[in-house]
Amino acid sequence: MVFSAGPNMAPIEARNRGSFCRIQLRDTMKPIYIAAYHQSKFGKLLAMTQEQMIAAAVAGVCGEIGITPRLLDSGSIAAACNFSLHQQGLLAGLLAGVPGMATKPLEAVENACASGGQAVLSGIYKLQAGLGETAIAVGIEKMRDNDGRADGKRVGEALGYFSDPAERDGKTFVFPHIFAEIMQVYSRAWSVSEADLAAIAVQEYANARHNPYAQMKVDLTLEQATTIAGPNRYLIEGLPLKTYDCSQITDGYAAMILATEEGLARLGVDKHDCVEIAGWGQAVDPLQHQLRNVLEPAGAYRAMRGAYAMAGISPFEIQTAEIHDCFTVMGALGTEILGNAEPGKGAAYWVDGNAAPDGICGINTSGGLIAKGHPVGATGIAMIGWAAWQLLHKVPAPLQVKAATHAATFNIGGPVCASVCTVLRGPQ
Amino acid sequence: MVFSAGPNMAPIEARNRGSFCRIQLRDTMKPIYIAAYHQSKFGKLLAMTQEQMIAAAVAGVCGEIGITPRLLDSGSIAAACNFSLHQQGLLAGLLAGVPGMATKPLEAVENACASGGQAVLSGIYKLQAGLGETAIAVGIEKMRDNDGRADGKRVGEALGYFSDPAERDGKTFVFPHIFAEIMQVYSRAWSVSEADLAAIAVQEYANARHNPYAQMKVDLTLEQATTIAGPNRYLIEGLPLKTYDCSQITDGYAAMILATEEGLARLGVDKHDCVEIAGWGQAVDPLQHQLRNVLEPAGAYRAMRGAYAMAGISPFEIQTAEIHDCFTVMGALGTEILGNAEPGKGAAYWVDGNAAPDGICGINTSGGLIAKGHPVGATGIAMIGWAAWQLLHKVPAPLQVKAATHAATFNIGGPVCASVCTVLRGPQ
C-alpha cells in the first residue's frame, strides 16, 4: 500500500485542493448545520433498555431546541454491540416507534467504532440527496449490565467481531491485543516511550474531571500511569499496553439534528447560533491485517484531508479537535492524521502541552474515549457534538479553548480501518 | 396509526404528485442508472467464506462490464446474520480488502431483510450527494453450513433478533410465528383461504423452475401446497402457516454498480443499454407490535407511492415487479402495496393468473423469496437486479414479460417494518 505524499504534506495539499473543492461545494452542495446536540452522561445507564435509550436520545435532542420529532425528515442510527450483547437488530424499527418518527426513511449503519460518525454522514448524504431538510443521527451503546458491571470477557469477545478473522487466533481480548501490537510497532518505529504515550492519558483524565458528561472522575499522575501498581498492569504479556492506555467500557447515547438552511428555518433555529459541518471525509482501509499499514493508514489520511479540503482550510486553522483515542497510541497517531504533528511526533505534541485546552490545539478536551468513555455507537456523534460545543463556547471554563473558530474530528472503526472525519466551522 | 387515503387511491395520488415530484427530480437530482448487476446462484455456497463472497460479488459485477474496481467511487454492503451466525462486523473493511477497493467511502447498512435494498439506496444517496459518479452495492448472506445443511433453529434464532423484543416470548421460530399470526389476521380480515395464498407459492415454484439462479427446482401443485403430507406441515399449532408458505434458508450474494451519466461514460457503458432507477422510496414502520398495522403498513405504502411519484408513473404503468414474499401472505399484501390490487384482493390477483409472467403484471417471475431463495442481505439487491433483467429482456423466455418498459420492487425488513421500494425504467 503506497501513499504518494507524506503525511507532513497534508497542510499544503489541503490548501491547494481546498480552493477547488470549496468552489465545488458552493456549486453543488448545501451547507449543513448542527441544529441540536444532546447526550447522556457516559458511564452506567443501569437498567435502561436500548429502546429506552433511543427514545431518550430523540426526546433529549428535540428538547434542546424545543421541537417535536415530527419535524425530522430522516434518521440514521448507530450501535455496534446490539446483536452480540443484546440480540437485537433493526434498530431503525425501534427508532420508528418513537412518537413522531414513524414512516420516515431510517436505517442503521455500521462501521464498528466509527458507526456514530457514519450515522452523521448518512444524515448529511440524505440531506444532500434532497431527502428532506432535517435529519437525526442517533448513537447508542449498552455495554454494562443492569447493575452497572462490565463483563470484560463478553465485551471483549463482542468487540473482537470487528477484527480480521485471520488475526484473532491466540488473542483473548482481541482489540486490546491488536492495539498492544500496534503500540509496540509504533513505539519501535518512532522511538516513542511508554511514558510519552501515558502523557496522553494523563491529560485526558485531567480534562474529564471538568466534563460533567465524562465517565472517569479520578486523578491520574504520570507516575501512576507508568507504574505497575493497583489497577495499572500490562494487559498482554510481552506487549507495552497498560490499563491506563485503554478507553472505557461505557453505556451512553448521543443524538444530533442536522439541517440545511431551509431546515433550520423550519426548526426555528437561527443559522448564526449554529456550527456548520463545513467538511467531511470517509474512507475505509482494508480490515485484512496484511493489507494495512497502521503507521500510515492511507484511508484515514485521505478522509481527513478530504474534510479539510472540502472546508477549504488547513490543519493550522483548527483550534480544537476530538480524535479517536481508543488506546493512547491512537491519540498519538490521530494527532498526526489530524495534521498537527508529523509522523512519529504525535505523542510529543501532548508531552509538550500543545494538546491541552490552553495549548496550540486543544485535543480531546472532553477527556476522549480514555476518560470521557467509549459507548461505541454513540462515540462518533459525541466527538462531533463536543467539538461543536467548543465552537459555541459552551464547555466548562477550564476546558474551553479560547477563540475557537474551527474544529476537526477523527472517528475510527476497527484497527485503523474505517475513518470518519469532519471539519466544523463555528457561528459566523 | 391513521392513514388518510385508502390504498386504492394510490394510482391517482401518485399521478397527481408525480408531475410535481418529477419536476423536482429533474431540477435537483441526477438520473441514476444500473451499470451492471451480478449474483451467485442462490442455494448453497458450501465452504465459501463471507470474505470470499464479497470478493466474488465485486469481481463478478465488474466482470459483467469488463471494468476494474478502481473505477468505483463508493460502496455499501448489506448482510443480516453476519454477527449472529459468523461473529463478524465491519464488513466494509473486508470490502476494502478487495483489490481496487481500499481507501474509499464504504459502510454497512442494516434494515433486517431490507438491508440489500438499503445498500442500493445508500449508493444512490452518495451519488446524489456528489460523492463520486459510481457506487457499488454488495449484499451477502451465508445461512447454511459448509456442507450445505441449514440449522433451522439457529437461523430462526438469528432472524428473531429483528423482531420486537416484547413479541418473542413463547415463539421458538420467531418470524414464521409472527407471520403465521399475520397470515391469520389477514385471512380473517379479508376472508382469504389457505388455498388462495398457496396459489402464490405454486406460481413462484413454477417460475423458479426456469430461473437458473433459483434455489428450488421442484414441481409444486396446489394440491401439494394445501395438503398436509410429506414436507408440508403446519409450522405452529393453531395457525395457518405451512411449509410451502415459507421462503428458503439460502446462501447467496448479489452486487450492483450504480452510476450517474458521467459515471456510465467513465465505465464505458452506453446509457441506452441501461435501466434507470427512476424512483425510490424508503420508510420504516414501528417495530413495536402495538404500533404497527400489518394490514395497512403506512410506511410501506408511503415508500411505494414515493417511488412511483418520483418516477412520475402510476402502478398501472408497470408490467413486472419483484416483491418481498418472505411468506405467502406477504406476496398477497405486497401486491396490494404495489398498487396492483385493492386491500384484501392481493391473493385473488395471483389466483386469477394476473401475476403470471404472461399476466397483467408479472410478479416475482424470478420465483421470489419462496422459490428463488432468500439470502437475506442479498435479497433486496437481487430483486432490483432481476427486475432490471426483465426490462433488458434478459430473462429466460418462459419468464420474460413481453414489452416490459417499467418495473417496481418492494423489499421489506422485519414484520412489515422497514420498506425499500424502487421504480425502474427500461432503456429509452
Test mutation, A90, A113, A122, A136, chain B, max B CBs within 10 A? A90
Chain centre distance of CA A153: 24
Alpha helices in A293-354 (DSSP H): 298-311, 328-337, 346-351
How far away is chain A from the Cα of B62, in angstroms, using its nearest Cα?
A: 19
Using alpha carbons, select from B204, B201, B194, B192 the residue that is nearest to residue B342: B192
Query: Which residues in chain A have their CB less than 8 angstroms from residue B1's CB?
Result: 102
Rounded (10°) angle between helices A115-128 and A376-391: 70
Rounding to the nearest 10 degrees, give the CA dihedral for residues A45, A48, A54, A60.
-60
Nearest CA in chain B to A113: B90
Are the CB atoms for A381 and A119 separated by under 8 Å? Answer: yes
- Average pLDDT over every residue of A3-15: 33
Buried/exposed B66-83: b ≥16 CB within 10 Å, e otherwise: ebebebbbbbbbbbbbbb
pLDDT tens-digit profile of A228-263?
A: 999 999 999 999 999 999 999 999 999 999 999 999
Test the A interface: residue of B4, B98, B103 with most A CBs within 10 Å: B103
Got the DSSP string for A361-417? Answer: SEESTT-HHHHT---HHHHHHHHHHHHHHHHTT-S-GGGPPTT--EEEEEEEETTTT
Shortest Cα–Cα distance, B329 to chain A (Å) = 21
Mutation choice for B interface testing from A4, A83, A326 by most B CBs within 10 A:
A83
CB A110 to CB B128 under 8 A? Answer: no
Determine the distance in angstroms separating the CA of A258 from the nearest CA of chain B, rounded to an integer. 15
Angle at CA of residue B300, ends B393 and A263, nearest 5°: 110
Smallest Cβ–Cβ distance between B93 and the set A125, A128, A414 belongs to A414
How confident is the model over A176-183, as a mean pLDDT?
98
Residue B399: alpha-carbon gap to chain centroid: 18
**Which of A309-318, A407-416, B4-13 is the least confident region?**
B4-13
Measured between beta carbons, the chain B residues lying within 8 angstroms of A305 are none
Please state, in angstroms and rounded to a whole number, the distance separating the CA atoms of residues A276 and A298.
26
Nearest by CB to residue B128, choosing from A49, A80, A130, is: A130
C-alpha–C-alpha distance, residues A179 and B330, integer Å: 47
Please give the residue of chain A at the shortest CA–CA distance from B93: A287
> What are the E-state strand segments in B120-264?
134-141, 252-259
Q: What distance in Å separates residue B234's CA from the closest CA in chain A?
A: 27
Cβ B89–A106 below 8 Å, yes or no? Answer: no
Q: Output the pLDDT for position A428.
A: 87
Q: Which residue has the higher pLDDT, A371 or A27?
A: A371
Q: Which of A49, A92, A284 sits opposite B104 (nearest CB)?
A: A284
Q: What are phi and psi of A203, to 5 degrees?
A: -60, -40
Taking contacts as CB-CB distances below 8 angstroms, the residues of chain A near B80 are: 89
Does the beta-carbon distance from B93 to A107 stay under 8 Å?
Answer: no
Q: Which among A49, A109, A283 is the nearest to B109, CB-wise?
A: A109
Is B288 in contact with A97 (Cβ distance < 8 A)?
yes
Find the distance separating the first CA and the last CA of chain A, reported in whole Å: 41
Q: Do B108 and A103 touch (CB under 8 A)?
A: no
What span, in angstroms and rounded, lies between the C-alpha atoms of B132 and B263? 8
CA-CA distance, A322 to B68, in Å (whole number)? 37
> How many alpha carbons fall within 13 Å on the CB side of residue B106?
31
Question: How high is the pLDDT of residue A154?
Answer: 96
φ/ψ of A384, rounded to 5, equals -70, -40
Q: Where are the alpha helices (DSSP H) in B39-80?
A: 50-64
Domains of chain B: 33-145+250-272 (3.40.47.10)
> Grid coordinates in use for B224?
401439494
Question: How far from B259 is each of A409, B32, B78, B156, B270, CA to CA, in Å?
Answer: 30, 6, 19, 37, 11
Number of cross-chain residue pairs from A and B with Cβ atoms under 8 Å apart = 222
**Do residue A103 and residue B299 have CB atoms under 8 angstroms apart?**
yes
- Residue A384 CB: number of other CB atoms within 10 A? 29
Residues of chain A neighbouring B103 (CB-CB closer than 8 A):
283-285, 298-299, 302
Closest Cα in chain B, distance from residue A120 (Å): 12
Position A19 scores a pLDDT of 35
At residue B22, the pLDDT reads: 39
B1/A282 CB distance under 8 A: no
Looking only at the bridges linking them, the beta strands covering B74-78 and B106-110 are parallel
| pLDDT under 50: residue ranges of chain B | 1-26
User: Which pLDDT band, with edges at 50, 70 and 90, does A2 fall under?
Assistant: very low
- Closest A-chain CA to B105: A283
Would you call B29 and A129 a contact, using CB atoms and an 8 Å cutoff?
yes
φ and ψ of A365, to 5 deg: -65, -15
Partners of B119 on chain A (C-beta within 8 Å) are none
Of A195, A234, A157, A200, nearest to A330 by C-alpha is A200
- Taking an 8 Å cut-off on Cβ atoms, the answer to whether A107 and B110 are in contact is yes
Identify the pLDDT of residue A27. Answer: 58
Q: Which of A51, A109, A285 sits opposite B102 (nearest CB)?
A: A285
Q: Render pLDDT for A364-387 as a digit per residue (tens, 0 to 9).
A: 999 999 999 999 999 999 999 999
| Nearest residue in chain A measured CA to CA from B94 | A287
A344: helix, strand or coil:
coil
pLDDT value at position A28? 73
Facing residue for A284 by CB, picked from B92, B110, B118: B92
Instruction: Decide if B112 and A130 are in contact by the 8 Å CB cutoff.
Output: no
In eight-state DSSP terms, residue B243 is G
Which pLDDT does position B28 carry in this prediction? 73
Q: Does residue A158 surpass a pLDDT of 80?
A: yes
Tally Cβ neighbours within 10 Å of residue B191: 8
| Neighbouring residues of B410: CB distance < 8 A, sequence distance ≥ 6 | B300, B303, B304, B321, B322, B323, B324, B334, B337, B338, B383, B419, B420, B421
Query: B177-233: per-residue pLDDT in tens?
Result: 999 999 999 999 999 999 999 999 999 999 999 999 999 999 999 999 999 999 999
The whole-angstrom separation of Cα A11 and Cα A9 is: 6
Across the interface, whether the CB atoms of B94 and A287 are under 8 A apart is answered yes
pLDDT score recorded for residue B27? 58
Instruction: Compute the nearest-CA separation of A112 from chain B (Å).
Output: 5
**CB atoms near residue B327 (< 10 Å):** 26
Using the beta-carbon criterion (under 8 Å), do B102 and A291 form an inter-chain contact? yes
CB-CB under 8 Å, A84 with B285 = no
What's the pLDDT tens digit per position in A48-93? 999 999 999 999 999 999 999 999 999 999 999 999 999 999 999 9
Q: Residue A11 above 90 pLDDT?
A: no
